[in-house]
Structure 1
Amino acid sequence: MTATSIALFNNKGGVGKTTLAYHLAHMMGRLGRNVLAVDLDPQANLTSVCLDESEIEDLWSNPSELIAQGLVPAKLNGTGRIREGRTVADAVRPILEGTGDVALVEPVLLKPGLWLLPGSLDLSRFEDKLSNEWFKSFAGDIAAIRTTTAFHRMIEHAAASVEADIVLIDVGPNLGAINRAALIAADSVLMPLAADLFSLKGLSNLGPTLREWRHNWRQVVLPQVPAGISAPPAEMTPLGYVIMQPEMRLDRPVKAYERWLGRIPHVYSSAVLNTKDPSSGDALHHIATLRNYRSLMPLAHDARKPMFELKAADGALGSTQKYVQTCYREFKGLAENVLDRVADR
């Protein structure tokens, strides 16, 4: 059975996209799915959340300042799960350097049922290559087609190697060439939003851009792809949106938040779904609203685990433990909703 891929994307950064991807991956694993998380954000934030400093040092083969200062151990004894050369940047390096096709790297096992294709800051070097090859692929250039399908083929191989049911793809907040290749490789798109002007503007840009990419890929490129190259159908089906609730401040009145919140269904319907009826069912597209769990984040970071797995030993005491239980219920409901939507596609 082929894995279903979901890209988490918004054209506006800072909405909690990586936090959402990390927690969804863990919760879907708890629900019995084999999950592959893929970090295609050149900032590699998902990788930094999933792995320890010393593991990232091994992965990127770069000395860590924290390790040099003696603030963290140089090695994690006994983990054995990290080896050099297993990032997405390593996978596309042969294409970038002109020495071959995509290298099919093996994902890292984080825990039973959950794997990671780690990101790297070096992935940003692939941006210009993808940009230059995009229009060449319109003319049927085989090398260009191999370049633009590199992410798809890398993910396809990794998902098959671990028998993944779900692939969650974390991408950066822009409409550049890396994200175009990443989103074309996705079956569907889940959009985390904040109730503010910037998220709405991001939605306005995102919808038409996805439709343009889909049309160009399907109508111009796909008919020219040779039989020997696996190419994605570029479905990019909108699954819906998740509201990431901000921390309310005195300078951000509730009425202002509600005003922007009320505009999201119209912008989503018109820009993303390309319909003129904002009443086409907000409940159909609004998957969940996640409250702000800022007080749990430091504990989760120190414990190297999701917020909903925090225990008393991690510092989640008293009322904080009840907050953890609320977090668990919300993410469980969200994950079940997303899985249901994927199944109904």
Structure 2
Amino acid sequence: MISIALFSNKSGVGTTTLTYHLAHMFQRMNHRVLAVDLDPQSNLTSAFLDEDDLAIIWEGPETPVWGEARDRGSTGTVATSVLPIMEGTGDVRSFDPVEILDGLWLIPGDLRLSTFEDRLSAAWPRCRTGEADALRTTTAFYRIIVDAAARVDADIVLIDVGPNLGAVSRAALLAADNVLIPLAADLLSLRGLQNLGPTLRLWRSVWRGAILPQVPPGIVAPEDVMAPLGYVIIQPTMRLDRPVNAYRRWLTRIPYVFHDAVLDEPGTAAEDTRDYEIATLRNYQSLMSLAHDARKPMFDLTAADGALGSTQSYVRKCRAEFAQLAKRVLERLSST
């Protein structure tokens, strides 16, 4: 099993859209894919499931609330799984992931996951002394993912992580072998990358150096965590008063900032050596609303979905770009 967290410190760069479409593309490349929604906003879950499914999972009569544990049978959300930890009554509960397609499954997110933040934050410093309950709390997401992946025999796990550096994001990133970072070619993304990089390195260092040696044999815990896989650039929506050249200065700085902030290798990048740039994707904003209404990936839109005339050529370009992106991700994984 290979796990990849898609994470950016800046919202609005398309992290969830990227996760959703990569999951579908890997599935059609005959991989068994588990998508995991660890963003408390749960946008990935909303992309995969319609309102009727969401009502059953989130608002149904068997939906647990904190302080009231109920049996949900064989399905549940991430928040349902960590409910015993939240209540102090036990360890994570295991559920079957939701089957989206043959070869594609989802661990649904839940807005209640945000209430897990304080528990995770309090557990982190206590992990250094090997306290078992703190270690079980910190590794909860990882153990949920390992169990779900084994249930469906997944070979690729894609984890959607919220755009912040809080305790939920830290625990989500600890559950991943690799981190793929979506970026826009703008100042805010660059500043976010400068903020994100040192924090990722710190978390990884603390986990591997101070915490992992304290983990007892009875607790399943991640070892090789948060290795930087690279970044994907999402092109901005062009306006007539803001030509492409206006973004060039940010594009040329991205390799330097990535090597400096994320890899801690200042001065090793060159403009023409974008070795960690996985792909550059055009902005498919015009297709997103159609895809949302059709409840399918943008690259599967047909005339019946409203993708008429020249829009079909745009759909084909989208399909080709995401196929190439998936191929490059696999190549990058095999070379690391």
TM-score band by shorter chain is over 0.9
Is 1:159 the equivalent of 2:157? no
Asked if the contact 1:17–1:192 (Cα under 8 Å) also holds between the matched residues in 2, the reply is: yes
Which residue does 1:28 correspond to in 2?
26
Measured after TM superposition, the shift of residue 233 of structure 1 is 1.1
Task: Output one character per residue of 1:72-119: Cα deviation in whole Å (capped at 9) or x when no partner.
Answer: xxxxxxxxxx97851001011110111110111210000011000000
* 2:231 matches 1:241: yes
Shift of 1:234: 4.4
Name the residue aligned to 1:77: none
Q: Which residue of 2 aligns with 1:309?
A: 300
Change (3 A) 1:280 1:5: farther
Go from structure 1 to structure 2 and tell me whether the alpha carbon gap of 1:83 and 1:44 turns closer, same or farther (over 3 Å shift).
farther
Change (3 A) 1:262 1:284: same
Which 4+ stretches in 1 moved above 4 angstroms? 82-85
CA distance in 2, matches of 1:84, 1:46: 21
Aligned match for 1:172, one of 162, 169, 172? 162
Amino acid at match of 2:284: Y
The amino acid across from 1:107 in the alignment is P
Partner of residue 68, structure 2: none
Unaligned runs of 5+ in 1: 64-81
Q: After superposition, what is the alpha-carbon deviation per residue over 1:180-216, rounded to whole angstroms, capped at 9, x for unaligned?
A: 1111111000000001111111111111111111111
**CA contact 2:74–2:96 (8 Å) conserved in 1:** no
TM-score for the superposition, normalised by structure 1: 0.91
Q: Distance in 1 between matches of 2:241 and 2:92?
A: 49
Aligned twin of 1:93: 83
1:235 Cα offset (Å): 2.2
Q: C-alpha displacement at 1:230, in angstroms?
A: 0.4
Structure 1 residue 282: Cα displacement? 3.5
Is 1:128 aligned to residue 118 of structure 2? Answer: yes
Q: Unpaired runs of 5+ in structure 2?
A: 62-71
1:217 aligns with 2:215: no
Partner of 2:45: 47
C-alpha root-mean-square deviation of aligned residues, in Å? 1.6
Q: Quick check: 1:91–1:102 contact (8 Å CA) kept in 2? A: yes
Task: Verify the 8 A CA contact 1:29 1:114 in the aligned structure 2.
Answer: yes
For 1:208, the aligned partner's letter is: P
Give the direction of change, closer, same or farther, for the CA distance of 1:280–1:141 in structure 2 (3 Å limit): farther
**C-alpha displacement of 1:59:** 0.3
Alpha-carbon distance between aligned partners in 2 of 1:115 and 1:146, rounded to the nearest angstrom: 25
Pairing partner for 1:11 from 9, 19, 22: 9
Identity %: 62
CA distance in 1, matches of 2:221, 2:127: 12
What residue identity is the alignment partner of 1:101? Answer: D
